[in-house]
Chain A
Amino acid sequence: MNPRWLLAALALLVGAPAHAQDKKDEKRPLRWGTDPTGGAPYVYKDKDGNFVGFEVELAEYFAKELKRESKMVSGDWDKLPELLGKPAGDDGIDIVLNGYELREDLEKKYPSTRPYYVYKLALIIHKDSADPITGWSDLNREKQKGVKRSVGVLGGSVAHEYLKGDDFGDKIDLKINPDVATVIGLVEQKRLDATVQDTPAALYYIKTGKDLKLADEPRKSGFYVILTRQNDNELRDQLNAAIKKGIKDGTFKAIYEKYGLWNEDQERLLYWTEQPWPPFAVKAEETGGDGSGQKSVNWNRLLNDLLKAAGMTVLLAVASFPLAMMVGMLVALGRVYGPWLVRFPLGVYVEVLRGTPLLLQLYCMFYIVPMLAANHLGVTLPNNPLWYGILGLAINYSAYEAENYRAGLLAIPRGQMEAALALGMNPLTALRVVIVPQAARIVIPPVTNDFIALFKDTSVCSVILITELTRKYNELYNFNRDLVVQLAFITAGLYLVMSYPLAIAARVMEKRLATAGGAQR
């Protein structure tokens, strides 16, 4: 065979698919990751339900420059970088474009482009607070003796990192939430003393929101950058070129002015398009274990943080479950022995609580009920999220417990009640000393099961600003992205260590009851 033929054939085999890949890549939309719940002015929906925001316009600009189509992909804000780790197929993303600040720890895994915006941290308070925070240094001043200022931040943001640092740290009551609009809302309701946000969000909400103002000059400026996959050098170059062009020709300025975000800080952007990037040395950890001399992991601190959060998890579970049992028992008694007028509403209570998500219930109780109470009844409800967490879990689980107990009560032979009544006990005494103790024995296994389930459901309380184990894991993970696996294992281990003894206790109790003799009949 002619060797030249062979070569040509080989070239076809090897080259043709590669070529096809390139072509396909060019046509592929530019998939940019964002968290639309983060809200205005980054990405939000206008009145017609279309996504708008300065980052939507930036993404469209980049896509146009790259001759690709812009395709928005949504995810949780603090997990967006991890989406880059997925293959860039239909479910992955090509870039993260969502107010991500330039951070050393992220840089080594997800190299950034040149900055597209210069932000600062802004301290936002309510306009007419009785005892206003006068500035950054005033944050550490206690409201009353032993009562720290509550400050809300977006979990995993630079604001979060700044506030948990040495300047503030334990001197403030830091409330972590994954949602900017929620935190802002709580400041508007005076349920948080302040929030620290990046200037774009801060300026937007002060302009559009009610009764908010800056307590001090914004400080700690930083860069918003686009995060990319490590080996996407070409894409990064293309984006950098587009950034430079957009800054030079005024495209960026026009977009920022449209959203009221333009300020003199942005003049510096052009300068940075020509400087070495990133502006700090990135340690070459990805190529091997050459991380010596770098910031070492403070495991003591991490474990301490996790254990403290585990304590909150225990507190939530241990405080809410007895309440759930008590309420559940009353509901069950009402449903089994009460007249129709009692049975019907209790049936509705159980079905509504079982039929709607716990997350939604907690959200309603913490965010909506106090707002309604304040606006319509003029009643100020307590503000501590812990109360809402305990009460919310207790109410939700009371529905499940009620059903457990109802099953237990119905399993007691009718003759037991009759025998008690025939002795001349009044019905309540009969329930207390004859029926309920027997029913309680029957329901020990399902009730223990529910307690273990509740233990893990405490993690839902993170949506109402309670830092329990899962929330803490998320928070630590944000600032220690190299330790994701270790932290996940430790967290799971802690849950197991806490719930396994319960499972054992339940088994022992069941055994004991089995030997104590079954029910009659």
Chain B
Amino acid sequence: MIRVTNIVKDHGPVRILNGASLEVAKGQVAALVGPSGSGKSTLLRCINGLEPFQEGSVEVGDALKLVGGAPHPRATLLQLRRTVGMVFQQFNLFPHMTVLKNVMAGPVYALGAPRDEAETHAKKWLDRVGLGEKHDAKPAQLSGGQQQRVAIARALAVNPSAILFDEPTSALDPKMSAEVMRVIDDLADDQQLQVAMVIVSHDLAAVKRIADVVHVLGGGKVAYSGPAQEAFAPGGPAAALE
């Protein structure tokens, strides 16, 4: 589903990623862990083309491929971003739109869906994240946890086949974190959804619970890929992070 091959990413004189590779299968939940500054978020942002990279490639499905070293073709980028959703640490909801409009934004402005269709669809997703009552609220009127749930609904509303979570709970207190993680957990368990998920998170307890596979990033590479249980086992590659 997602195949990252030998990505090299420089930020000015600093090499952040130095040949990182990983694969995430359809319906799989992958966690990306590693020490601070190891390039987890950068790798996520390379996957959906928010960051250009110098070498390597990103493939999504059979048809979409970003190749490092040159500007990505616009058509490919658009298509890829419609296929791979993203949830940000700071939510990044559109503050001038209502909650419902935020969730409709992708279908309407990116996919060109008719408004009424988009609205029904958006409402369905808002119900799914437990915010069916908040259609007309503005983001500023919601708690952080609620905002992040709206952001998740917004990312899912374009029917992506993969979704990237970039530290989705770091800006939240433990209670709200748990509330957001429950939603992600619920999506991960949904056998029908079949969305590949990549989660970057410091909440290792939640990661252990949710993730099928853990990728440990170190030295600009993916140093380990394997089942969560193994990764977090005493003496395992991710145990030191705890």
Contact = CB atoms under 8 A, between A and B. Distances in A.
A418 B95 contact: no
A437 interface: yes
A425 B110 contact: yes
A421 interface: yes
B78 interface: yes
Contact of A520 (B50, B86, B109, B139): B139
18 contacts: A413-B92, A416-B94, A418-B50, A420-B109, A422-B48, A422-B50, A422-B88, A423-B155, A424-B78, A424-B106, A424-B111, A425-B105, A425-B110, A426-B74, A433-B105, A438-B94, A517-B138, A520-B95
Interface of A is mostly: helix
Contact of B110 (A413, A416, A423, A520): A423
A521 B79 CA distance: 29
Contact of B92 (A419, A424, A433): A419
Contact of A434 (B48, B78, B94): B94
Contacts, number: 81
The 9 closest A-B pairs by CB, nearest first: A517-B140, A424-B82, A419-B92, A424-B110, A415-B92, A423-B106, A422-B86, A424-B81, A520-B95
Interface of A: 413, 415-416, 418-426, 429, 433-434, 437-438, 441, 516-521
A418 B48 CA distance: 11
B5 interface: no
Contacts of B86: 419, 422
B2 to A, nearest CB: 15
Contacts of B93: 419, 520
A424 B90 CA distance: 19
Contacts of B95: 438, 517-520
Interface residues on B, range: 20 to 34
Contact of A516 (B82, B85, B138): B138
Contact of A426 (B78, B106, B141, B154): B78
A428 to B, nearest CB: 11
Nearest to B81: A424
B11 interface: no
A423 B138 contact: no
Interface in B19-66: 48, 50
Contacts of B155: 422-423
B197 interface: no
Interface in B72-102: 74, 78-79, 81-82, 85-86, 88, 90-96
Given A422-B48, A423-B154, 15 more contacts: A413-B90, A413-B92, A415-B92, A419-B94, A419-B151, A424-B79, A425-B110, A426-B74, A429-B109, A429-B110, A433-B109, A438-B96, A517-B139, A518-B140, A520-B93
